[in-house]
Structure formats: C-alpha cells, structure tokens
Amino acid sequence: MIAADQRFDEMIAGDGEVRPAYDEYCIWYERQEPGWLRRKHLEAEGTFRRTGITFNVYGEGEAEERLIPFDMVPRIITATEWRRLARGIEQRVSALNSFIYDLYHRQEIVRSGRVPERLFRDNAAWLPNMVGFTPPGGVYTHVVGIDLVRTGPDDFYVLEDNARTPSGVSYMLENRETMMGMFPELFTRVAVEPVSDYPRRLARSLAACAPPACRDKPVVAVLTPGSFNSAYYEHAFLADQMGAELVESTDLRVIEGRVAMRTTRGYEPIDVLYRRVDDDYLDPLSFNPDSLLGVPGIMDVYRAGRITIANAPGTGIADDKAVYSFMPEIVEFYTGERPLLPNVETHRCADPDSLAYVLDNLADLVVKEVHGSGGYGMLVGPTATRREIAAFRRKLIARPENYIAQPTLALSTCPVFTRKGLTPRHVDLRPYVLVSPGGIDITPGGLTRVALRKGSLVVNSSQGGGTKDTWVLKD
C-alpha cells in the first residue's frame, strides 16, 4: 500500500504530465477564461436547485432539502481501464448472486468450509422465509452499486458491495445532463460513452425478471417510502424516466392473490415492484408487525411466484461488511476464477488475533460497523483525535464482532474546481449494475463521489461529499 502523500492523481502524473485520459479535457480547460469558469461554477448550483435535485436531511426541527454539491470537472476513465473494471464487476456481481442463491438453498459454500455458518445465522438481514425459494429468473440482485477506489494506475479495489438498494444513480444522470447543458462544446471534442439510457435499461432489465405467470407486457412500479425519504427525488426521477408508477405502500393491497395498486380505475395488478424500501417495511405480516408501513400479505404473493420484488428480500445478507471480508473466497468458489477486482485488506475484529492487531493500530486504520452504512459509526484513525480513538476503543472491546478494520487507503484524487483554480480531492466510484436472466448490464461510468474537504477521505453526501460527472472515453 502506498503512503498518503504518494496518492495517485487521476489527472496529473507524478512527473507533472497530464495523463492521457485528460489530454483533450485539459487542452480545452486551459483555453477557457477563468472568470467564465467561475460563473459556470455558480450556474451549476442554480441549475440543481431549480430542478429540485435535492435530498432530505433531518436535523433539528423541520426537514430540509439539501443539494449535493456538484463539481464541474469530470472524472475521466479510458476505454481500456473501463473494460478491465467492467470484467471485474461482472465477475463479482455474478458471484454475489450465486452466493445469495446458495445461502438460501443448499449452502454448499458453508458445507465446503469456505465461510462460517455464523456469518448469516446471526445476521439480521438473513430471512428464514426465503429459504428454499427461488425468485423469478433466479435473480436476487437486480440493481447493484459496487463502490470502487483507486490507489494506482492499475490498482482498483472494491470497498463495498451495495446489493440492497444502492442510490445515487439519478445523480449520475443529472450530472451528465448538467455538464452537457453547461459545456456542450466539450462533448463535441471528447467522445464520451452515454449514460442517459440507464432508465430504459433498468426498465428492460426489470421487465425481463417478471414472474413466469406474467403473459402480457409486465407492469412495473417503483415503491418509495414517501416524499419525506432522503432519496425521494431519485425514486420519482426513475419512475418518471421509466414510465412506471411511483407507489407508496398505502397505494398497494393484495387482491385475489396479486399485489395491486389503487388507480383511478380501481385496483390494478403489478408484476414487478422495484422497491426502494428496506425488507423490514415490505410486509408487516412477515417482518415487522409493529410497522404501519408495508403491504400485508405481499410476501405470500411473492412466494406464490406472482410478483417480482427487486431487489429480492433477504439480499441484504450479501451487503454486509463481515460477508465482504469473505468476498475473495466467494468469488473463487462460484466462478472458479481468481477475483479480478481485489478487496481491501480487512481485519475481522470477531477474530481475537485480528482484534489485538486492530487495537494496537487504531490510529492507522479505518474501523467500520459491520452493518453500518452512509459513513456513520466509523473511525478514520489518521484523522481522528486521541479522545475519539479512546472512545472507539471502548466500543470495539465491548462488541468486537460488530466491527471490521481496514488500512487507510490512499484514495486517488481528482481535481475539483475552486475559486483559486483546480485542486485535488479524494474520489471513489460507484458503477451501477443491472442483473436479469439475460445477463449483467453495466452502465459505463457511474457516480463519482468526491470528498470536498481538503484531505478528507469520506465521500458520503451526508458527510460533506459532492459528486462529479464520470466519463468513460470511447475507443
């Protein structure tokens, strides 16, 4: 692993030369008048506000709609780099899907001794009522977002597999729209793979997963927790772009063995439900009896094979940092190949030797909750205060099985635009992957998240991160 000051910059090589991916962009950039660029920078924010591309934040008092900051310097990936990444992603997603299928069926991987049984037995995301059931087409992970980080020219690592309900794809699409609106001439100079057909690909992929009983054109609906959800904008956006209804659980009811939505004509059945709610809020009869949300009986309809739920209930079992640590074994077990995309080295604190190592090296490690997400509940050793480290040490000793630890990666940087010109900030990359019986479909690029604070490694929007347009160059 390279040290933080030797970080890899996506645009500028160590010798000060512009890397090939950014050649055309830099030529263009140098020719632009700085004052004009600053105006464009401000204009971008106005565009996002007017379009209402916001996420909801709940602080004190009333909910607030916030913008995720957008940076107008694209993150650029060459066609060759992308081909390599895409192969690795496909391999990984294929293995994830086989793994979930296996866990809910014969559990060969446990029998073979490659992963311990406790990995899923004590896991809240494990759904016993999925055991022995095969979702339509055998697909569990209809939509996946794989978080990648880069540390060198050829060194990409998988940081997380978001196999439940990955969000952010609307930013991928809106960022591109915004860039094309602001800098049309750039897109005539540089040939960039388009992303705008993602909603169409999503609609097609979901329709291909319709239950076998569905004879006509499948009716697809997007299930949102409602307009107060932080990702509501995205739910509405995707439904709109796919031409699907955007439903809440109060719109749904089980009628004559089908899940149906209340339309102005009466209840009409749904074939595929792209749900953006957690398992817990799907069916109060099956999961959370205290919940007022959900559709009573939907799991019975599901198990009777009369609706597709995407992603499949119980998929969260693969979306877990303890499972993550076994991904190299999982990939090998199901694909028979070496993983093309490596994991970040991960210490499972449940293991006493690892715990001892982690406790000795807290100041250099990143420690994460096994079930956590969104950048909450984690310790970034190198930037934490002594007091924070001490507090975290106590939590870690109290519940070691709740944590994993990873070395602090020297995430690559990409320039962001500031008043004073370009300055490097750390980035990651989340490509979006669609799975159907027809195959695995990866939209070129994805969402680049950027830590806007100098030196920060946390790219989450809830923690001061922004986003960038991501370009995959055409050959």
Interacting residue ranges for other proteins, rule: CB under 8 A: 49-52, 227, 232, 236-237, 239-240, 245-248, 250-251, 261-266
Q: How far is the CB of 170 from other proteins (least distance, A)?
A: 12
Comparison of 60 and 353: residue with beta carbon closer to other proteins: 60
Largest CA distance in the chain: 69
Q: How far is the CB of 238 from other proteins (least distance, A)?
A: 9
Q: How far is the CB of 345 from other proteins (least distance, A)?
A: 44
Token pair of 438 as six digits: 């027809």
Comparison of 195 and 341: residue with beta carbon closer to other proteins: 195
Q: How far is the CB of 233 from other proteins (least distance, A)?
A: 8
Cα 212 off chain centre by: 29
Residue 125: strand pairing partners: none
Comparison of 261 and 307: residue with beta carbon closer to other proteins: 261
Comparison of 246 and 312: residue with beta carbon closer to other proteins: 246
Q: How far is the CB of 263 from other proteins (least distance, A)?
A: 6
Edge-to-edge strand order for the sheet containing 245-247?
245-247, 220-223, 272-275, 308-310
Q: How far is the CB of 236 from other proteins (least distance, A)?
A: 4
Comparison of 236 and 340: residue with beta carbon closer to other proteins: 236
Q: How far is the CB of 218 from other proteins (least distance, A)?
A: 18
Comparison of 171 and 237: residue with beta carbon closer to other proteins: 237
SS (H, E, C) the chain: CCCHHHCCECCECCCCCECHHHHHHHHHHHHCCHHHHHHHHHHHHHHHHHHCCCEEECCCCCCEEECCCEEEEEEEECHHHHHHHHHHHHHHHHHHHHHHHHHCCCCHHHHCCCCCCHHHHCCCCCCHHHCCCCCHHHCCCCEEEEEEEEEECCEEEEEEEECCCCCCHHHHHHHHHHHHHHCHHHHHHCCECCCCCHHHHHHHHHHCCCCCCCCCCCCEEEECCCCCCCCHHHHHHHHHHHCCEEECHHHEEEECCEEEEEECCEEEECCEEEECCCHHHCCCCCCCCCCCCCCCCHHHHHHCCCCEEECCCCHHHHCCHHHHCCHHHHHHHHHCCCCCCCECCCEECCCHHHHHHHHHCHHHEEEEECCCCCCCCCEEHHHCCHHHHHHHHHHHHHCHHHEEEEECCCCCEEEEEECCEEEEEEEEEECEEEEECCEEEECCCCEEEEECCCCCCCCCHHHCEEEEEEEEECC
Q: How far is the CB of 164 from other proteins (least distance, A)?
A: 23
**CA angle, residues 304, 122, 142, in degrees to nearest 5:** 45
Comparison of 177 and 441: residue with beta carbon closer to other proteins: 177
Comparison of 63 and 304: residue with beta carbon closer to other proteins: 63
In angstroms, the CA 100 to CA 95 distance is: 9
In angstroms, the CA 255 to CA 53 distance is: 36
Q: How far is the CB of 230 from other proteins (least distance, A)?
A: 14
CA dihedral 409, 85, 195, 428 (to 10 degrees): 0
Token pair of 392 as six digits: 């975290």
Comparison of 148 and 222: residue with beta carbon closer to other proteins: 222
Q: How far is the CB of 427 from other proteins (least distance, A)?
A: 29
Comparison of 264 and 385: residue with beta carbon closer to other proteins: 264
Q: How far is the CB of 227 from other proteins (least distance, A)?
A: 5
Q: How far is the CB of 245 from other proteins (least distance, A)?
A: 6
Comparison of 38 and 262: residue with beta carbon closer to other proteins: 262
Comparison of 270 and 409: residue with beta carbon closer to other proteins: 270
